[in-house]
Structure 1
Amino acid sequence: MKKTKQIEKNAKIVNRHLNLKLKGNPKKLYDAAGHLIVHGGKRLRPYMVFQSCKILGGRSSKAMPAASAVEMIHNFTLVHDDIMDNDEVRHGVPTVHKKFGMPLAILAGDVLFSKAYQVITQSKLSSDAITELVSRLAKACVDVCEGQLLDIKMADEKRIPTQAEYINMISKKTAALFDVSCAMGAICATRKNKDIRNLSTFGKNLGIAFQITDDLIGVMGDPKITKKPVGNDLREGKKSLPILMAIKSSKGKDKKTILNAFGNSKITRKDLNKAVEVIRSIGIEEKVRRQALSYASKAEKSLETYSGPNKRELIVLLDFVVKRSV
């Protein structure tokens, strides 16, 4: 996955700001809160905040508090996701609860959540802008929580969800933070509802395309890139779009091969690879790519009234997200 230079440049700027904001006593609490931030992350959400502000003529400096807040909330969700999933590794390092223990990890997540709002309210933006930023970010957090529970519910149920149910879930769990990133960037630059709505729509559709592509990589991604075995999501029984499509589209022996691998932690590497090849052979990758590109097209359409280098950067980001190789 090739990063643009602009994304890398923004990530360094945001990292410096986050490191300044996530300092305090007891030191161990702030070490835990900043653990995942120190060890990686592309900072896509802050990047969207900046570009959405600049496309409307705003300055990056005005958007920095919002960009930092979104990244803190994103990391808060990662800390809590890892606790719920009992994951041991993220960004190639131990997860927060594995390194610091469960009680401190929960507190670290709470600090990230609280600091996000503190950073916004301490900014030099107008009181109206601050109120709207806080309101939008709070709604996004509620959406993420609802989406997370929908995901857990889907995993617990025996039935295979519909594609509409899957899209609804990822719209909340993943796309909500992409949506609010672009909306907050726009708010930092303007009070025009039309512009805020356009950027918000861009972010939401980009977020859906991002998750669809991520789920495709989770099924048939290159282990050298994903750091996980081919077919990992299939073996774990994740009800992601490629797997839903594969189960629905397959017949006879092909369906049996896929279902044998689905949620089967004891499956052999040979049988798992066979199931992935079946999914590949029935054209699931192409179908999923078309879905992702459909949402990318909606995202691009929402920017059609804008022009200039910042629009180009957002379109580059869109391509960067959707055209990731598996």
Structure 2
Amino acid sequence: MKTSGSMKKSELESCASAVNEFLISNLDGRPKALYQASSHYIRSGGKRLRPFMVIKGCELLGGDIKRALPAAGAVELVHNFTLVHDDIMDNDEMRHGVPTVHHKFGLPLAILGGDVLFSKAFELLSYSGRKAGIPDSAITEMVGRLANACTVICEGQVTDIDFASNTKFPSESQYIEMIGKKTAALFEVSCALGALSAPDHSGKDVENLSSFGRHVGVAFQLVDDLIGAVGDPKVTGKAAGNDIREGKKTLPILLALRKAKGDDKDRLMKVFGSRTASAQEIRDAVRVVSDVGVDEDVRNAARQHMARALESLAGYGGRPARDSLQFAADFIVGRSL
């Protein structure tokens, strides 16, 4: 017999499959190479956490997957658009075991493929949303909210770039504000769009689900940063201590630098941002980050945001979709290193 957890996992996979099918059917056209570039990451798989939250947010308020798919597809297209452009800015060659779009298809097609993802997102919301029976007033608000989220993501990305180029380290609150824009904005709008897709929603419902998504998004990035600092390469698919080598000023590294003393701090500072550091030096730095107890500090910060997220859903007890949203939240915080 399946456990509740395995049932929820199969639910996540079922939603991912429906979203993939919907997106692939909408990313088919000529020139073929353009659509191959735009759909490259989507075809390579993924958990589809943001679309899952759209779908379950809609179901929480009496909707179904048919009504939710246009918005679910739209947020996943925007997410993939940001991945394509992030990889170009970082000049990365691999993402989760597959070549990056610009590495496989060249820079011009990667930029244009990203542009297609961005414009298709709003096409799905507008045209497919209307076909799914969503009224124009709700579609107008959805388009406005998704457009605003895209702007906020860009603001967060530039702030992150500023952190990287500045010799000073940001404060913890500055860092949380940055990831609140760069990462949490898309989780927040995913949940808002889920509510707006439902046939019977109130302004308070949209506000509650937005709050849930915002705090889940912050928790997601905190755990992601922890994985980037001390994650097992066999699990993460990235080199050990990848964020340390690249000099990323993430919360785990900020906390480690604050807590480490003497030789340990010197070991960490020596390789921070050093592309020429040896594998052994990076391993030593990862051990320093692990030994000073950063893992528990960051997970506790993530749990605090998760508790605030779940408070936002307190009024929806007894609805199966609420349990599904909580499962997704728990899955995010519990991801292994």
Asked if these proteins are the same fold (TM beyond 0.5), I'd say yes
Which of 100, 104, 112 does residue 105 from structure 2 map onto? 100
Residue of structure 2 in register with 1:159 after alignment: 168
Which amino acid in the other structure matches residue 324 of structure 1? R
User: Does the 8 A contact of 2:180 with 2:218 survive in 1?
Assistant: yes
The answer to whether the aligner puts 1:313 opposite 2:313 as a matched pair is no
The answer to whether the aligner puts 1:275 opposite 2:275 as a matched pair is no
Residue of structure 2 in register with 1:322 after alignment: 333
Q: CA deviation at 1:98?
A: 1.2
User: Does the 8 A contact of 1:49 with 1:66 survive in 2?
Assistant: yes
Which of 11, 15, 20 does residue 15 from structure 1 map onto? 20
Distance in 1, Cα, partners of 2:22 & 2:195:
20
Residue of structure 1 in register with 2:192 after alignment: 183
Q: CA deviation at 1:236?
A: 1.1
Residue of structure 2 in register with 1:131 after alignment: 140
List aligned pairs for 1:226-305, cutoff 5 A: 226-305=236-315
Which amino acid in the other structure matches residue 54 of structure 2? V
Distance in 1, Cα, partners of 2:229 & 2:108:
33
List aligned pairs for 1:76-225, cutoff 5 A: 76-122=81-127, 123-124=129-130, 125-189=134-198, 190-225=200-235
Q: CA deviation at 1:271?
A: 2.0
- Report the 3-state secondary structure (helix = DSSP H, G, I; strand = E; otherwise coil) of the residue aligned with 1:58: coil
Q: CA deviation at 1:230?
A: 2.1
User: Does the 8 A contact of 1:40 with 1:91 survive in 2?
Assistant: no
Q: CA deviation at 1:247?
A: 0.9
- Report the 3-state secondary structure (helix = DSSP H, G, I; strand = E; otherwise coil) of the residue aligned with 2:121: helix
User: Does the 8 A contact of 2:96 with 2:237 survive in 1?
Assistant: no
Q: CA deviation at 1:252?
A: 2.0
Q: CA deviation at 1:166?
A: 0.8
Which of 56, 60, 80 does residue 65 from structure 2 map onto? 60
Spell out, residue by residue over 1:203-225, the C-alpha distance to the aligned partner (whole angstroms, 9 max, x if none).
Answer: 01000000000000111111111
The answer to whether the aligner puts 1:46 opposite 2:51 as a matched pair is yes
- Report the 3-state secondary structure (helix = DSSP H, G, I; strand = E; otherwise coil) of the residue aligned with 1:206: helix
Which amino acid in the other structure matches residue 306 of structure 2? A
User: Does the 8 A contact of 1:46 with 1:67 survive in 2?
Assistant: yes
Q: CA deviation at 1:286?
A: 1.0
Which amino acid in the other structure matches residue 332 of structure 2? V
User: Does the 8 A contact of 2:153 with 2:185 survive in 1?
Assistant: yes
> Structure 1 stretches (4+) deviating beyond 3 angstroms?
none
Distance in 1, Cα, partners of 2:36 & 2:284:
44
Which amino acid in the other structure matches residue 216 of structure 1? L
Count of matched residue pairs: 325
* TM-score of the superposed pair, with normalisation by structure 2: 0.94
CA RMSD of aligned residues (A): 1.2
Give structure 1 stretches of 5+ with no counterpart: none
Which amino acid in the other structure matches residue 266 of structure 1? T
Distance in 2, Cα, partners of 1:269 & 1:315:
39
Spell out, residue by residue over 1:255-303, the C-alpha distance to the aligned partner (whole angstroms, 9 max, x if none).
Answer: 1121112112222222221222122221111111111111111111110
Which of 72, 75, 93 does residue 70 from structure 1 map onto? 75
* TM-score of the superposed pair, with normalisation by structure 1: 0.97
Distance in 1, Cα, partners of 2:105 & 2:117:
15
- Report the 3-state secondary structure (helix = DSSP H, G, I; strand = E; otherwise coil) of the residue aligned with 1:155: helix
User: Does the 8 A contact of 2:183 with 2:217 survive in 1?
Assistant: yes
User: Does the 8 A contact of 1:36 with 1:91 survive in 2?
Assistant: no
